[in-house]
Structure 1
Amino acid sequence: MIYMIHSIFEKVKNEPQEGKLADYIPALANQSKDLFAAYMIDEEGQVLKFGDYEVSITLQSISKVMSFIVAADQLGLDQVLEKVDVEPTGDPFNSIVRLEVAEKGKPFNPMINAGAITVASLLPGNNVETRVKAVTNFISQVTGREHFVNQEVFQSEMETAYRNRAIANYLKANDYLRGTVEEALETYLQLCSIEVTTEDLAKLGLFLANDGQLLNENKKLITLKTAQFSKALMMTCGLYNASGKYAATIGIPMKSGVSGGVLCTVQNGQIEHLKGHIGIGVFSPMIDEIGNSVKGMSFLQQISDHYALSVF
């Protein structure tokens, strides 16, 4: 059966190639420009999938959602919010300027680098390995398979982490980091380098749409409050300094990464035979100047319009 969504996918796939690879991370400069994938799953486990959905990518900034969830659920949301705020910035994800103008240098939200580095330092465990493992274990519980750090991408990011190291030093000077600067930075960059597929992204999106309940299991893995805060942050801060634009035009909680992945959660919608809570994973590595996947966002824009997915 040919669905309308398949036609939308093919139309976007054949759109002129725009954007560029995230070549400031050397390992990401080697991705094929033509890769494009979409995967959708609903609360009954029904699936729609298109393109290169089996290709592995690294989470990059999408990991910020996972690390926030683990830190908030393990430490308690209030403790995390003592160190990181939940306000949008309108600035690039790697901006330093807001740290200097904010009261006591507090990061504005966990979806920018300053906030994510802070959250990485707060994760449970006494060293980098155990903190990263806390997040990979969480992702594995949701997706049903093991996840690992792509060491090539991690080393590539560590070798070029000058700006992130500057941010981490500023945070440490203002007493926002637990442990050392290098531990926080290494934890953060390893989290960015965790490998997933679009299927994994879709399952994570469905997990959040279900307010923290695992597919086919009548139990919640995280608190309702943590799930709600995570989705609110995705909606208001998840697409860098284009978050307001996409909240207005697409209208669902999303988080992007510069590898070209996008994690999306639909609270109550219908896409062909999929209905109710739906998780969506999209991937295309060519990103715009802000850091969002060009074809990924075009596809999400068109399916939101056609299937009326916006929460507004």
Structure 2
Amino acid sequence: MQVCLHLGAHRCATSSFQEYLRQNAAELEGNGIGVWGPRHTRKGLFHGVLPVPSFHSKKAQAKRAQGRLRMKLDSHRARGIQQLLISDENVIGSARANLYQAELYGDVGDRMTRFFAAFDGAITSIALNIRSLEAYWASVISCAVARGISVPQASHLQRLAEARRSWRDVITDIACAMPEVEIKVLPFETFGGRPETQLSLLTGKETPKTHARVRLNSALRLEDLRRHMAPMAARDLPAGEGRWRPFASGQTALLRENYADDLMWLVAGADGLAQLVQDPEHKVAGVNLPQTDKTRGTPDDKQDRRLAGSG
């Protein structure tokens, strides 16, 4: 049984993708594809993979988690599941921790090492969604503020813009923690609104189109944020309506440049650590470019052609 661990990340249409999987779970299982979403993984399934305060030692917790996962995987194999997709963005950390630390999943290496051991070699591939950094952080900030976090000060926004850690570092940490596991990277800008295409590329099978346009947990617009916040706190929001863009132009340029560097690294092969998944509907030029007429108009000199005047 092939096991794909879909890591999100947060604010990359992950909840919408998981809802698509949940709504189509019965049909997918009939096609040999099993699904574990947050409703499965957050009910104690991963308990002990990451140690928690307990009477049991960290080693004992990890061993119990490994046994629990092995039993669950064996039951799916017995049911004829050929491919299992596990999707939970909290495996790699939390968006709120990223915001507090002004760092992109700083402890992902340690977390993935523990999950790699817990699955005992069962994971065959990793799927990671990435997003342009200025849009990622803007979405994280908007959701955090909607949940009661104070509006970030200018100094904190500058820290986010100047942070050296990017998606390349996250991917490298995952690759080091999970050697020999294939890592597929799917940009939000390409696959964010197309869960059926994303699933097809991860499984190699045709996937259902139903429930493919469900949108969950979108970042609130400024006018909606004001209604969710206390009047005193809402005063710290900028004026206007529409999407909240908290970064100044220079900060935005810096974040976009970092993301462009990440994409260039992925396109160049990512040092053999990961594969950038391409849009199957985007046709690229082949080895031999099509021949086109390099002259303007038609070669028929006898044709009477008149240009419209400027009027």
- Give TM-score, length-normalised by structure 1: 0.25
Larger C-alpha radius of gyration, 1 or 2?
Answer: 2
Q: 1 or 2 for the larger relative contact order (CA 8 Å, sep ≥6)?
A: 1
- Give TM-score, length-normalised by structure 2: 0.25
